[in-house]
Amino acid sequence: MKQLLTLSQSEFDKIIEKRKSKVLIILVGMMLLGAGGLYFYVENNLNLTTISGSNFSVWILESLMGFILPFFAAMVIADSIAGESQVGTMANVYALPVTRQTMYVSKIIASLSYVAMIVGVIFVMTLMVGIVTTGLDILFSLGMILTTYLKAIAALGLVIACVGYLALWMKSSSMTLVVSTILFIVMNIFGLFIGTWDGLLPTTVIGSFDKIFTQNHMSLLVNMISYYIILIIIGIFKFQKKEV
């Protein structure tokens, strides 16, 4: 466990140090500033009540979860696995005195930690916008907002597990992103035609993240956990056989 935590921290540091990761955080910040400024202007200058402060935080998250945050999550894990294989730095990872199982899981954890950090930035910034715009009443909904954001992190972890496994078969991070984006779109379209069975698709679990832990949608939670277990296990097996 200590090796896993240490290696996960090392992988997380590598992600943070990359220019691409810093650009993603800046992009998220700019989008939130723009949305927050527009929300403040509409509420206070035009005297229009569009959404409450608490709903603003959730609305922003739901909007970003439609494609942007899953794409960011896919980008991070694709760069961590397929990207390192492409540039040859994966050989340095294989040379470490740890099992490949630990290496693979550490990359999943590090990528999820980075994505969780981005979600945390969104949480803090939208909360501040809500307080400035509508007052401290938003704090009464803090528990609900926080729970929704934690559900989003869990759903993004599923994205990372899916793309992490896919990246093991790809020769570059760009190819991984293209294939994963196509699969994401195809599964979303396919889900429109299979009715009640669409809950079996990973994209449905991700798209319905806010319902994951609700009593009437326990099947989503079961499906998510099942996908986590299956994808990580087969990912470990593939990573163990992967050539440098």
Please name the residues in contact with 116: beta carbons below 8 A apart, sequence gap of 6 or more: 153, 156
| Domain residue limits, the chain | 2-241
In whole angstroms, what separates CA 207 from the centre of its chain?
12
Mean of pLDDT over the chain? 83
Better pLDDT: 6 or 228: 228
115: enclosing H helix or E strand? helix 100-134
User: For the segment 94-123, what is each residue's pLDDT rounded down to a tens digit?
Assistant: 666 778 888 899 999 999 999 999 999 999
Percentage of the residues of the chain whose pLDDT score is greater than 90 = 31
| CA-to-CA dists, residue 224 to 24, 75, 76, angstroms | 26, 21, 20
Q: Is it the case that residue 188 has pLDDT exceeding 90?
A: no
Pairwise CA distance, residues 213 & 115, whole Å: 20
Q: Is it the case that residue 223 has pLDDT exceeding 90?
A: no
User: For the segment 137-176, what is each residue's pLDDT rounded down to a tens digit?
Assistant: 777 888 889 999 999 999 999 999 999 999 988 888 889 9
Q: Is it the case that residue 91 has pLDDT exceeding 70?
A: no
